[in-house]
Homo-oligomer: A and B are copies of this chain.
Amino acid sequence: MIKELKDSYGHLFEDALLDEISRVGTFKEVPEGFKLMEIGQYIKVMPLLISGAIKILRNDNDGDELLLYFLERGDTCAVTLSCCLGETKSQIRAIAEMDTKLIMIPIGKMEEWAAKYKSWRRFVFQSYHERLLEMLSTIDSIAFLKMDERLLKYLRDKVNVNKNNVIHNTHQEIAYELHTSRVVISRLLKNLENQDKIKLHRNNIEVISI
């Protein structure tokens, strides 16, 4: 574990902290689709991403869903962080976007290390910062963009996160994550195909140039 931890976080944390992390943290490997967090669950550990990606989703009471953003290597979940102190329930759902490796830290350490390590404080503040900016970006999308532009942004994000221009999703799945209906997504995707920006196949979308 030490090696993978150092590769991803060595430039951020001092050796003493890396040491503590490798002692109290638990290495975990989860497959694509694995549910890491469900709304209403209590949060007991905080994840440090080593590789892979996690998608963070918001659900309301009626089952409506919306993709908020992705976590990638070097990220941690700020919503988790903020829940640590308050011992509150999760407000979000977290699903592994692909096979993912992470280190789980017991939440008690969060506050302890914040007192002890400057690099940890910087990391935590920085994580909050990034997450707030991601949230602002999400708000921009849903408030200011029309569905066709949101779909384009979604496809771009997927390509970046998965480092692959074939997107393995059904139209229905995309519709859920953008909180619209399957028919709408099919319609807009067909438009994009007619503009030669993508090619549609069953269960996957090939991105040509967007």
How many Å lie between the Cα of A84 and that of B144 in the bound state? 27
Q: How many interface residues does chain A have, given as a range? A: 35 or more
> Is A122 part of the contact surface with B, judged by Cβ < 8 Å?
yes
Q: For A88, list chain B residues within 8 Å (CB).
A: 129
> Is A6 part of the contact surface with B, judged by Cβ < 8 Å?
no
How many Å lie between the Cα of A21 and that of B85 in the bound state? 24
Q: For A114, list chain B residues within 8 Å (CB).
A: 114, 121, 125
Whether A132 contacts B79 in the complex (CB less than 8 A), given A111-B121, A114-B121, A126-B85, comes out as yes
How many Å lie between the Cα of A132 and that of B128 in the bound state? 9
Interface residues in A135-158 (C-beta closer than 8 Å to B): 135-136, 138-140, 142-144
> A139 near B138 (CB under 8 angstroms)?
yes
> A83 near B129 (CB under 8 angstroms)?
yes
> Is A16 part of the contact surface with B, judged by Cβ < 8 Å?
no
- Closest chain-B Cβ to A138's Cβ sits at a distance in Å of 6
> B142 near A143 (CB under 8 angstroms)?
yes
Partner of A91, one of B83, B131, B136: B136
Question: Which A residues form the contact surface with B (CB < 8 A)?
Answer: 58, 60, 62, 64, 66, 68, 78-79, 81-86, 88, 91-92, 111, 114-115, 118, 121-122, 124-126, 128-129, 131-133, 135-136, 138-140, 142-144, 179
17 examples of A-B residue contacts, CB within 8 angstroms: A58-B143, A60-B140, A60-B144, A62-B144, A68-B139, A81-B125, A82-B129, A85-B125, A92-B136, A111-B121, A114-B125, A115-B115, A115-B121, A132-B135, A135-B135, A135-B136, A138-B139
